[in-house]
Amino acid sequence: MPLDIRERFEAELAEIPDDLFDRERFVGGVGPADADVVFVGEAPGANEVEQGEPFVGNAGRVLDSLLEDVGIERKQVYITNLVKVRPPENRDPTSDEIEAWRPVLWAEIEAIDPAVVVPLGAFASREVVERDAPISDLRGETYERDGYVVVPTYHPAATFYDDSVKAGLQEDLERVAEMAGR
């Protein structure tokens, strides 16, 4: 059964300041409420806002392909973002935005109680792992946060700019699949 973020996390969403919660650019997480894996992106893009679902644009197609390669179906995982509202002009999320949306992210993770949390890219990885380091330094390792196993990896969009990233991303997703019992 899918998790209805607006209903399930109504109290946490009510705490988001109005200036940081543009309901027309809001994209909640999607996936089963009992998923073994939770993927955490940075923030929704234009395609995500248009379709109301995270990772449905070009980066989502890369993620879907890599998941398929490692034996994980998209419908088996929960996919969300660190910040649930697309930042204006597709800029990086600010520290205020990240701080405001943090309780919603952790409420999602706690409700799902996954075997593995996979932050995608630098912003999500630094937040989830609580380390200010480049993603190239964070990935390839397994961390623990609040009792959850965390496997940070590259954002699928990084493959558009650097072909060598794809091998590392696939390697990390293979580890995730193994940890999730796939």
Structure confidence at residue 182 (pLDDT): 64
Structure confidence at residue 5 (pLDDT): 75
Distance CA(31)–CA(82), nearest Å, equals: 16
3-class secondary-structure state, position 131: coil
3-class secondary-structure state, position 74: helix
pLDDT confidence tier of residue 2, bands split at 50, 70 and 90: low
The stretches of 113-163 forming alpha helices (DSSP H) are 122-129, 135-138
Total domains present in the chain: 1
Structure confidence at residue 88 (pLDDT): 86
Judge whether residue 145 has pLDDT over 70. Answer: yes
Distance CA(37)–CA(127), nearest Å, equals: 17
Distance CA(55)–CA(59), nearest Å, equals: 6
pTM value?
0.94
Tens digit of pLDDT for each residue in 18-73?
999 988 889 999 999 999 999 999 999 999 999 999 999 999 999 999 999 999 99
Q: What is the mean pLDDT of the chain?
A: 93
Provide the domain limits for residue 138.
Answer: 5-179
Tens digit of pLDDT for each residue in 62-76?
999 999 999 999 999
Structure confidence at residue 3 (pLDDT): 64
Look at residues 44, 64, 68, 63 and name the one whose alpha carbon lies nearest to residue 54: 44
Judge whether residue 144 has pLDDT over 70. Answer: yes
Residue that has been written with the tokens 């894996």 in this structure? 37
What CATH number does residue 19 fall under?
3.40.470.10
Structure confidence at residue 89 (pLDDT): 85
